[in-house]
Structure 1
Amino acid sequence: MFSISPQSKRRWQRFKSLKRGYYSFVLLCLLIVLSLFAELWVSNRPIIISYDDQLYFPSYGDILPGRTFGLDYDWETNYHELRTSFKNNPDSNNWVFGPLIPYNPFENHFIQGQYPPYPPSAENQHYLGTDMAGRDILSRLIYGFRIAILFSLFLLIITYVIGIIIGALMGFLGGKFDLIFQRIIEILSNVPILYIIMIVASIITPNFWTLALMLGAFSWMGLTWYMRTETYRENTREYVLAARSIGASNWRIMLKHILPNSVSILVTFFPFSVVSGITALTSLDYLGFGLPAPTPSWGELLQQGTSNLDYQWIAASAVVALTIVLTLVTFIGEAIREAFDPKKYSYFS
């Protein structure tokens, strides 16, 4: 049966005692959960529609044509128009229960007699305004956050899997294996990844997976050096020598002894890898080599804002969102580093 070690409990209690890092962790988790269910509260499709005493659920259901609700067209219902028609007919029992933000990140909203971008307005429910194409900025920030955080987590998985395996083998086996991979890492670390992405983007349209795999192919090297050093150190400890003396295999020593005792360096590296993934995707989108339009992107909003400084709300919204998320992750990283500090918390403390 799985049990939590006393040392892990002490580290968790220490992490919770660091209020800035702990509350940042709770807030970031809340933001991630809300973004994963964004269709329920940031969408142009209502959650529930009551029409002629029948309920419809368009958010996660079928596409409902306009004639379903008495409108004179067969394509998908314009739900903004539907809300207006229900308001203009107060004698009916028809009603709409919609999301808090009634726009999806791809929807172009045009106001008669005006041209986008539109400034922030509670009346139009564009709480942070629109971009140059008339798309709601707040909805694009929320969906862009979901894409950025999932991208960084997927990139982190690639980094950890490759970095831990190669770094542990370099530190454990040493010799020619270590020397060969040192040379390989030195070569790869001098490859200009931005130029590679530019070349690939000129041949094919990059997507979420191709960008993650290209960045992942070069992002594992930093963790590898840390893992190699940690494995070298742990490999000389008495408990490893004792395990060898009783006939434990190399795989058992690595998986049961060295890796569990290297967890502190792996955990402390985690928040900074997330920051690296978010900033990498944002930078690529800003330069135009990231995700294809009209994918919601913080980098694309930054590019629009810096190209059109008369519309300050576009760049400001992306800068503030990016600053908040990166600050939260930084606070979490500081708290994790202090909670896993071996000088304060060891097996004997």
Structure 2
Amino acid sequence: MAESPFAWIDEQARARRRAGLVRTLRPRPADTPLLDLASNDYLGLARHPEITEAAARAARVWGGGATGSRLVTGSTELHAELERELAEFCGFESALVFSSGYAANLAAVTALAPHGSLIVSDAGNHASLIDGCRLARGATQVVAHADPEAVRKALGTHSGPAVVVSDTVFSVDGDAAPLTGLAGVCRESGAGLVVDDAHGLGVLGEGGRGAPHAAGLAGAADVVATVTLSKSFGSQGGAVLGPARVIEHLVNAARTFIFDTGLAPAAAGAALAALRLLRREPERAARARAVATELHTRLTAEGLEAVRPDAAVVSVRAPSPEQAVRWAADCREAGLAVGCFRPPSVPDGISRLRLTARADLTGGQIDRAVRVISEARR
């Protein structure tokens, strides 16, 4: 029998094992005893009874799925309601909901970077933005992390249409992009600014309105933001926010909108309920930031190398991929779930524990988390 055409996979698997980079799925039960500092449920809404009931109600009214693409049967009145309220809350003229934040980023980058354009991309950007750059017809230039001057130099080499692409809060270390500086550089050369606010929405800005709102950029004619509904809003899906002309263009040109099934009604209903709850309880955003600061302060006091957070992500560096895996596993054995980031997920090659500073964490839970992480490291 001829060798399998996929035999090359075995060598890649061996290389991953040698490097300590094997990833495995670990299905979690519905009722877990673990204290969760691994998810992106920043506001603690994924299991909030108001959110879960809204999801169930939407499923009962609209069905289990969207039934088609948004341009066929996948747009419901619920989707339109979510888009109106999301745009208004974040301070943008218009919004368009997608089945995921990943799909929203692919849409924004590919549709706004046609042939002959330049994309200037931060070296620390999320994989979805990187993939958008790869799929776009424009040319991409990757620049140093969080460096407006590097962006200025890149834009100075191009005379046609251009967009600058960046996360607002970077998912690995939780540091924030210099949005005001980036916007100023873009305006000097007439470039557009596309920012992914996945980790800013619900945490930064007045009442959690997001990083563009906090920077005074929301609603600007040259700024487009993408968000996810699966983090602070505890649901699923994503959206692009921006000028009405941009949103109309995406409806007609974005392949991940045109050819993808619409967001399930249950997810849309849950996200809308989360948005309305955050309007009523804006203090959740400040609480998430306060928990992040406390975790950083106390872990640093224990001698750990924790990166100062700008939002709700707290990153604690590990000596190696193997030790990061062992550290996270020991935390789990002690009843604490933490994220474990290793290459190729980290652009600088440094492995980390990644902690989520949830707004609903109690003082006792913070004490427990710090104790477990410190003891597991030793």
Name the structure with the higher helix share: 1
The TM-score normalised by the length of structure 1 is: 0.27
Name the structure with the higher strand share: 2
